[in-house]
Structure 1
Amino acid sequence: MTSDLVLELAPPARLAIAYAPSDVRSAFALLLQIDNRFAEILHNAREPMIAQIKMAWWREAFASAADARPKGEPLLQALNEAGDRIPLSALEALASAWEALLGSERFSQEVIDVHAELRAEGIFLTYAGWMGTVQDMRPIGRNWALDALRIAFPERVAGCIMPPAPLPKARALRPLSILTMSVRTISGPRLILHALTGI
């Protein structure tokens, strides 16, 4: 993935990427960028049907062979370069996570639970799989997804709750704990301290 695409991500996401092992860093960044693109589709959705068509385009592109994917889309080019590092199931989970929110003026607890579960699967479980960990990353992935959604769409998430989950201690999982901490009400220096020390 090019540095220009990484720079489009928010600083906390870039910090998380920096702490990922070098052999998965590009793929991890790509997952976050695809997630970010889907969030933009929801942000800009004036007509749910148009947004649904865009999501269907992405699903079709993901399912296509690399040489059959549409040209000119940097994220698809990066996906081609990633080879089979990112499983199709992760990409489909992210697409489904954002599709679950389309057409809702206010997100119900049920819809948010579905979104959070799928988004956690697409990013947190995929990363944990790369690390070979047996620790379940779903709980903090769901926490991150809900808090990130609350920040992005505050008027549509009011009242939704989710039990907090403990952060992983393993250094290999630091990128996931950085993401989770980044959407809590903490300062930038506190986030950097966590990145450095894990506390």
Structure 2
Amino acid sequence: MTGDSVTNPERMLALSYAPPRARGALAALLALDDALAQLLRTTREPALGQMRLAWWREALARLDQQPAPAEPVLQALAREVLATGVRGAALVPIVHGWEVLIEEELLDRDALLRFGEGRGQLFAAAGRALAAGPGDPLLVAGTGWALADLSRHLRGGDESVIARSLAAPLLDQAGAARWSRNGRALGALAHLARLDLGLPEGEAPRVGAPRRVGRLLWHRLTGR
């Protein structure tokens, strides 16, 4: 799973497209996604993974009632994201999405869609924090982004093929939209996922390659 830090130059470029006042909110949401990805990478026992994800679900929901505990990701969410009007409870579906990977022995089409739609709620929360436009395809882009990223990390060939087949039309739809200026950071992430999906299976993205950077710059200028 992603787990990319904000030191990734392409992510930093995408973050720079966000309105300055909300850039920290998007960074905090991506850090949450990174933390959940890292949790799954480092958990071998499903029961333990479910317990750790349950802790995150409860901690996110509690942000609406009490101060964040001494955990850097939660503190950043409270400081940057809740300040924009996004509730902690709205972030819980992201955890539900990640839980699918632990709960399901077989990642069939239904399970993968539930994962993508849950994890993809990150784009919905980010869209509100960024004050994205009403026409920005947030859920479509978020689901496609989540599935495209997962497809690069699945060991089972059939599961990867299904994830890619589900992600492709969603990212095509997101790529055909004209994103609002406030939503272009998320559009940039969707375009990167679409470029990754076009690579041969197993090939790592050439981060910072001229074609990729050029595509992001065109998106910044035009919203396409």
The 1-side partners of 2:139 and 2:78 are apart by: 27
Aligned residues: 191
Aligned to 1:155: 156
Query: Which amino acid in 2 is paired with 1:14?
Result: M
Contact 2:5–2:34 (CA under 8 A) maintained in structure 1: no
Query: Which amino acid in 2 is paired with 1:169?
Result: R
Deviations 1:2-32 (A, max 9, x none): xxxx955643322221211111111111111
Query: Which amino acid in 2 is paired with 1:107?
Result: L
The 2-side partners of 1:178 and 1:24 are apart by: 16
Contact 2:11–2:189 (CA under 8 A) maintained in structure 1: yes
**Are 1:165 and 2:173 matched, yes or no?**
yes
Query: Which amino acid in 2 is paired with 1:98?
Result: W
Shift in alpha-carbon separation, 1:9–1:95, aligned structure 2, 3 A = farther
Aligned to 1:128: 127
Aligned to 1:189: 210
Q: CA deviation at 1:88?
A: 2.0
The 2-side partners of 1:98 and 1:80 are apart by: 21
Query: Which amino acid in 1 is paired with 2:178?
Result: K
Aligned to 1:141: 142
Percent identity among equivalent residues? 28
The 2-side partners of 1:141 and 1:154 are apart by: 22
Aligned to 1:49: 47
Contact 1:120–1:145 (CA under 8 A) maintained in structure 2: yes
Deviations 1:100-147 (A, max 9, x none): 2114454211111011112222x2222333324111322222211110
Query: Which amino acid in 2 is paired with 1:147?
Result: A
Secondary structure of the 2:182 match is helix
Aligned to 2:115: 115
**Are 1:59 and 2:61 matched, yes or no?**
no
Query: Which amino acid in 2 is paired with 1:99?
Result: E
The 2-side partners of 1:141 and 1:53 are apart by: 26
What do you get for the CA RMSD once the two structures are aligned? 2.3
Contact 2:100–2:114 (CA under 8 A) maintained in structure 1: yes
Length-normalised TM-score, structure 2: 0.75
Q: Which runs of 5+ in 1 are unaligned?
A: 1-5
Query: Which amino acid in 2 is paired with 1:159?
Result: V
Aligned to 1:102: 102
Query: Which amino acid in 1 is paired with 2:18?
Result: A
Aligned to 1:15: 13
Secondary structure of the 1:165 match is helix
Q: Which runs of 5+ in 2 are unaligned?
A: 200-205
